[in-house]
Amino acid sequence: MEKNWVKIFTSSNFYQSEIVKQVLIGHHIDAVLLNRQASSHQAFGEIEVYIHQEDFSQAIEIMILNQINL
């Protein structure tokens, strides 16, 4: 992963991380998912959402306004 990306959300449920990603993208913030779940057993590991460091404050505000649990 490139420099200046920060993790803003983590969940063991893929759909929760995907919702966060889509909300951020809907507000013109680049977001990517990093799947750290074990490929053989998805109960282990987490899905992480990363954004550019300079978008962090705005992303937190968006998550709060959209009532996304941190």
CA distances from 36 to 7, 13, 25 (A): 13, 11, 21
**Which residues pair with residue 31 across a beta bridge?**
51
Compare 70 and 33 and report the one with higher pLDDT: 33
Residues 16-40: tens digit of each pLDDT: 999 999 999 999 999 999 998 766 6
pLDDT at 37: 77
Domain edges within the chain: 11-47+58-70
Of all residues in the chain, the percent with pLDDT exceeding 90 is: 64
Q: At what angle do helices 56-65 and 14-26 cross, to 10 degrees?
A: 110
pLDDT at 42: 58
3-state helix, strand, coil in the chain (%, to 5): 35, 25, 35
